[in-house]
Copies of this chain bind each other. A is one copy, B any other.
Amino acid sequence: MSRSRVLRHADFRWEGVDVKAYKDPVEGLFRGVTRQVLAGGRDAGPPLAFELRYFEVEPGGYTTLERHGHAHAVVVLRGRGSVHLAGEEKAIAPFDCVWVAPDTPHQFRASTDEPLGFLCVVDRDRDRPVPLGVTGKRGTGTN
């Protein structure tokens, strides 16, 4: 994105932004998650120190329970669900902001009746997440 522009939104998709897989699939680690990179990332024009992504979790879906040394700054845009933060489940709704501090085990879950969509900002230079086990069953394993 080397020139200034407006990326039009419609139904949580953005003009010119690809909807990608969340991660390489690993059985049971996550379910029904897509990723859109709104700014930064490999395709970006000028260097940025961050990436701005939008993740969407289908009803009943969840992200990987994981931890890493970098932080997440999250703002919920749509739906309801919960975030697991170091052993606690907290309900989230639009426009709650979630601060995931470094090395905190975390996982996002959508409610069963609507998608959960959220922006997530991270540093461009960051470590790889470490998955913390199969988490299809709620509440198993946080270490």
Contacts and interface: CB of A to CB of B under 8 A. Distances in A.
A128 interface: no
B96 A9 contact: yes
B71 A119 contact: no
A40 B121 CA distance: 11
A111 B124 CA distance: 34
Interface string A13-51: 010010000000000000000000011100001101110
Contacts of A77: 75, 77, 95
A98 interface: yes
A110 interface: no
Q: How many copies does the complex hold?
A: 2
Interface stretch (A57-65, A83-91, A133-141): A83-91
Interface residues of A, number: 48
B38 A75 contact: yes
Contact of A125 (B38, B49, B94): B49
A99 B4 contact: yes
Given A38-B97, A39-B99, A99-B1, A123 B48 contact: yes
Contact of A101 (B3, B98, B124): B3
Contacts of A5: 85, 98-99
A104 to B, nearest CB: 4
A77 B77 CA distance: 8
7 contacts: A4-B98, A6-B98, A6-B99, A39-B97, A48-B71, A49-B50, A77-B95
